[in-house]
Amino acid sequence: MTDLYPLFYELQKHLGEDAGDWPAQSKEEIVLGAILVQNTRWENVELTIQNLRQAYPDGYKTLHLEEVEHIQELIRPSGFQKNKSRAIQSVMAFLSEHGFDYEDIRERYGENLRDQLLQLFGVGQETADVLLLYVFDVPVFVADSYARRLFEAVGLGTYANYQALRKAVGELPFSLRQAQQFHYYIDEFGKVAFAKGALFSDSALADFKLKTREA
DNA sequence: GGCCAGGACACCA
DNA sequence: TGGTGTCATGGC
């Protein structure tokens, strides 16, 4: 993959160098958000997070022990409550087994952590990478649908699926902070640039492709 | 009222 | 291994 810094800085120019944090009050809340946001608007997830904070003001570390029906009711605004409640319990049970010690989990599993996460119900490739990036502090690339559409739009190639782009990008040259921002930038930009009726040619990155060609 | 959102899984060939 | 149907709510 070509140098990704030009794209990174172009996005940063439009979205700000202070942006890019996952909006959560704890690592556990990032985990829940990552599951709840699957194929769902973030606004719907926020409704659910409010429910969860109210129901569990002391945190979510015993969530895997709760009645699944109770969780389903709380997360209803995010949709897919049957699958997502199972996903929440499978991931939270795994984390609980390791005492919610994220650093220890990362060191224990090392290179196998991604495969370990993929074995949990409700954790596919994108969610696994999001968890690595924001929960386990590993600077990985999230090759989600916005990323694939953006890369294609700016002339960085076309990719059939998640794995194709992930493989093409390989290891990021970024710091952890930059990797987190990169994902944030891509998704925030994508929401606007690829919204229904929006034309990429009208977007802030419309001439990025030409600029990089000239350089 | 239809469409879709920061996917993943079950099922099938 | 890859392709398709299904899961569900809320906002536009």
- DSSP readout, A93-160? HHHHHTTT-HHHHHHHHGGGHHHHHHTSTT--HHHHHHHHHHTS--------HHHHHHHHHTTS---S
Please check whether residue A77 is in contact with residue A51, taking contact to mean a CB–CB distance below 8 angstroms: yes
From CA A69, how far away is CA A190, in angstroms rounded?
A: 35
Q: How many CB atoms lie within 10 A of CB A116?
A: 15
pTM of the full structure: 0.95
* Closest nt by CA–C1' to A81: C8
Question: Residue A195: pLDDT above 80?
Answer: yes
What percent of chain A is predicted at pLDDT more than 70?
Answer: 97
From CA A32, how far away is CA A66, in angstroms rounded?
A: 15
Domain A27-134: CATH class, spelled out: mainly alpha
* Closest nt by CA–C1' to A83: C7
Residues 91-150 of A with CB under 7 A from strand B: 120-128, 130, 144-146
Q: Which of A2-11, A51-60, A83-92 has the lowest mean pLDDT?
A: A2-11
Between A212 and A208, name the one with better pLDDT: A208
Nucleotides of C under 7 A from a protein CB: 2-3, 7-11
pLDDT at position A210, please?
Answer: 65
Q: What is the mean pLDDT of residues A106-121?
A: 97
pLDDT digits (tens, 9 = 90+) for A127-168: 999 999 999 999 999 999 999 999 999 999 999 999 999 999
What percent of chain A is predicted at pLDDT more than 90?
Answer: 87
| C-alpha closest to that of A129 among A200, A205, A186 | A186
Q: Which of A50-64, A165-179, A195-209 has the lowest mean pLDDT?
A: A195-209
Residues 145-164 of A with CB under 7 A from strand B: 145-146, 162
Asked whether residue A189, judged by its CB, lies under 7 Å from any atom of the DNA or RNA strand B, the reply is no
Question: A134-159: buried (b, 16+ CB within 10 Å) or exposed (e) per residue?
Answer: bbbebbbbbbbebbbbbbebbebeeb
Domain ranges of chain A: 5-20+140-214, 27-134
Q: Who's near A18: CB < 8 A, 6+ residues apart?
A: none
Between A54 and A209, name the one with better pLDDT: A54
Between the CA of A72 and the C1' of C9, what is the distance in angstroms?
Answer: 12
**Cβ burial, residue A103 (10 Å; 0-12/13-18/19+):** exposed
* Closest nt by CA–C1' to A23: B6
> Roughly what angle, to the nearest 10 degrees, separates helices A125-134 and A27-36?
160
Q: Nearest residue to C7, CA vs C1'?
A: A80
Please check whether residue A40 is in contact with residue A75, taking contact to mean a CB–CB distance below 8 angstroms: no
pLDDT digits (tens, 9 = 90+) for A35-59: 999 999 999 999 999 999 999 999 9
From CA A79, how far away is CA A69, in angstroms rounded?
A: 14
Please check whether residue A123 is in contact with residue A116, taking contact to mean a CB–CB distance below 8 angstroms: no
Question: Residue A213: pLDDT above 90?
Answer: no
Q: Nearest residue to C12, CA vs C1'?
A: A196
